[in-house]
Structure 1
Amino acid sequence: MDCGWRVLKTRQFDKNLKKLLKSGVKKDLVDATVEDLLRWVCGKGPLPAKYNLHKLKGNLQDVWDIHLKYDLVLLFKLNEDSKCIYLLNIGSHSEVFK
């Protein structure tokens, strides 16, 4: 989907994604979630409630949390000036909030 927004991944995200894929998490699940996220950011529709999208608080107040499964979360930041979605981390709650 091209609406001007770009998706950028951190090294931490790539590292944890690789680990998750080895553990059996399907890449299609991650890709579909990122596609839905991009559609939402582009204003092409609401994000399904199953993702439980919410902004974090405290030191992480600029970070968003989206659930792929019950205990599988993706952390990201939005930069409206540069139109970038930064995928920061992915994993279980205990892994991403160490």
Structure 2
Amino acid sequence: MDMTDNFNEEEYISGFNKGYYLAKEFPELADILKSATGTSDRLAGMKDGREQYSYDHFESRLPSFLKDSPFDKQDKTIEKYKGKDIEPDMER
């Protein structure tokens, strides 16, 4: 029997929203949820909601020097020397 035959989308979505909310408001409880075992659609949704919250807020927890893209800095360096017959050192 295929797993998709028994998938309950409403239960999954409800669990997803609750997992996201738990991760946002009660992170300690959400961490416990990570190790929960079971096969219900609601539990799968809760785990996925918790993971989605972590993904959504990962970048906001990074230090500022890790948020900037090194490619943006390289483009600014190229623009700085453009038209001055100077080749910037691209290995820095």
Give the TM-score of the pair, scaled to structure 2.
0.33
Choose between structure 1 and 2 for higher RCO, CA contacts under 8 A separated by at least 6 residues. 1
Larger radius of gyration: 2
Between Structure 1 and Structure 2, the one with more helix by share is: 2
Higher strand content, 1 or 2: 1
Q: TM-score, normalised by structure 1?
A: 0.32
